[in-house]
Amino acid sequence: MCGILGIVSNRAVNQDLFDGLNLLQHRGQDAAGIVTMQNGQFFLRKDNGLVSDVIRTRHMRRLQGNIGIGHVRYPTAGSASCAEAQPFYVNFPFGLTLAHNGNITNADLLKQELINQNSRHLNTLSDSEILLNVFADELYKQTQVLKQAISPMLIFAAIKGLHQRVKGAYAVVALIAGHGLVAFRDPNAIRPICFGTRKNAEHTDYMIASESIALDGTGFELARDLAPGEGIFISEEGEFYSALCADKTSYSPCMFEFVYFARPDSVMDGISIHKARQVMGRALAKNLETNWKDHDIDVIIPIPDTSRTSAWVMAGALNIEFSEGLVRNRYIARTFIMPGQSTRKKSVRQKLNPIKEEFAGKNVLLVDDSIVRGTTSEEIVRMAREAGANKVYMASAAPAVRFPNVYGIDMSNQADFIAHERTTEQVAIAIGSERLIYQSLADLTTCVHALNPAFSGFDNSCFDGVYITGDIDADAIKRLAQTRALHADQKNDDSQLDLHNDQ
C-alpha cells in the first residue's frame, strides 16, 4: 500500500506536495519522493524514510515548478532499496515520471515483453517501473500510429492500451514533460484515487490523491473519485480532460481500505471511513449478542487507533463500558506496514502501553480492526494479562485473513497468517485469549455496501480467496510468495543505480 499525490497550479507546488504527503504518511513509511516540473524539466528528490526526513529545506528550494507528483512507499513488490523509491523516470518518449499505488499481477510477463519486444531497459525489481515503461510504450505507439502531437485523445488511447495489457491493481499519477499531469485507475477500481479543486481569482488548482484527507488538509475541495478505468489529463495551463479508457469495468474497491488502511477522516469512493467503521462495530455487536448471549464482558477496550470507532459503537450497542485502556506512542510507525515480522513484533510493546487500572480484575474484550499475522494480538493479550485482567477476549471487525493479497498489501505468504489452517478456536488459543469473535464476511460486505450501492462488489480476496482480476491461481500465488521472499533477501541492497535524484 502506498500514497500518491499530484498537483497542477499557477504557483509553486512544492509546499502543497510536501504537506499532502505528510497527510498520506500513514499509507507508507518506507520511502518518499517528489517530482516537480518547470519549463519541461523535472526536479526530483526521493529516498528511504519519512517525508519530513527525505524532503529537507534544501530540497524544497530545488523542487521548482507549478506542477508535480509525490509518493510515499510501503513496499510489496520489489525491494526496499532506496533506488526503488518513487516516482520513477524514463526519458522516452517526451520524458515521463510516474508514481503508483497497487500491485501488477502479470509483471513478469510484461517485463519480458518490454525487454524482448520493446527494447526497453528496466533498472529495478519494482512493478511500478514496469508500469511506467508500459505507459511510455503505449504513448510511443500512439504517436507513431496517429502521426500527431501529444493530445488528450492520444493520452487516453495510451491509457486504454495499458489497461488491455496490465493486470492487477493500480492507481497512478504521472507527468509528461512539457505537457501536464496524467492520472488513471485500474478497471476494477481496487486501489483508491480521487481529485479535487481549489479556486482562486485567477486559476483553478487541481489535486489528485489516494485519500481525500490530503485535499482537506491543503485547502482543496473533494470533487469525486476516479471511476473504474477512468483517465484524467490536466494540462500545464490547467485545462481538465477525462475519459473512460477501459471496455469492461467493475466497481470493486479493496475492503481492507475501509477496515484498516484509510484514515477515519477520509471519504473514499463516496463512503466516510468513519461511518464505515461505525457500521462494522454495529454488525460486530449484533454478532456477539446473537452468538454469545451469556457473555461476562466488563469493559471493551480498542487497540488504537484504527479500531477505536468500531469498538466505541460496539460498546454502546451492547451497553458495556468503553475504555481507552491502551496508550499509543504516536512516534512509532504502524506495525502492520513495517517490513519484516521481527520488526513488527519488537515494535508492538514500544507502540502500546496499558493503563493497568483499566484491566485489573476485569473481563476485557479487546477490539482490533483485523488479525493478520497475530503478532500484535498475541503481544497485546499478554500485556492485558500482565496488567491484571481476569479474562481476555478478542474481537476483530474484519473476518479471518486466510488468503494472500496480491493487489498491493504485504500479505503474500499464506503460512504467515495466524488463521491459516486454524479454526477460530485454535486462533484464540494461539493468541492466548479465552474467546475470539470474528466479523462475518457477509455482514462486513452488506454493511459497507449499503453505504454505496453503486459498487459492483469488493475485493475481499484476503478473506475469501476470490481474485477479481481472474488471473490468480495457486501457482500464481506460489510464484508471488517466492518472488517476495527473493526481494526480501535483497531489501538492504543499495547497489542499484539511483538515477536523477537530487541529493
Active site residues: 2
Count of positions (residues) in the chain: 503
Tell the residue number behind the cell numbers 501536464, with chain if given: 180
Burial of residue 37, with CB atoms counted within 10 A of its CB: 0-12 exposed, 13-18 middle, 19 or more buried: buried
Contact 209, 203 (CB under 8 A): no
Let me know: does 142 contact 101? Beta carbons within 8 Å.
no
Question: What are the DSSP calls for 279-341, one per residue?
Answer: HHHHHHHHHHHHH-TT----EEEE-TTTTHHHHHHHHHHHT-EE---EEE-TTS--STTSSSH
Burial class (CB in 10 A: 0-12, 13-18, 19+), 47: middle
For 306-329, letters b (16+ CB in 10 Å) and e give bbbbbbbbbbebbebebbebbeee
Q: Is 197 helix (H, G, I), strand (E, B) or coil?
A: strand
Q: 87 with 71: CB under 8 angstroms?
A: yes
Give the residue ranges of DSSP H helices in 353-473: 375-386, 424-431, 441-449, 461-464
Cβ proximity of 416 and 373 under 8 Å = yes
Distance of alpha carbon 464 from alpha carbon 268, whole angstroms: 23
Q: CA quadruple 87, 89, 93, 95: dihedral positive or negative?
A: positive
* Cell matching residue 483: 518472488
Distance, CA of 152 to CA of 310 (rounded, Å): 44
- Going by C-alpha positions, the residue among 425, 446, 450 that lies closest to residue 284 is 446
C-alpha torsion sign, points 38, 42, 47, 50: positive
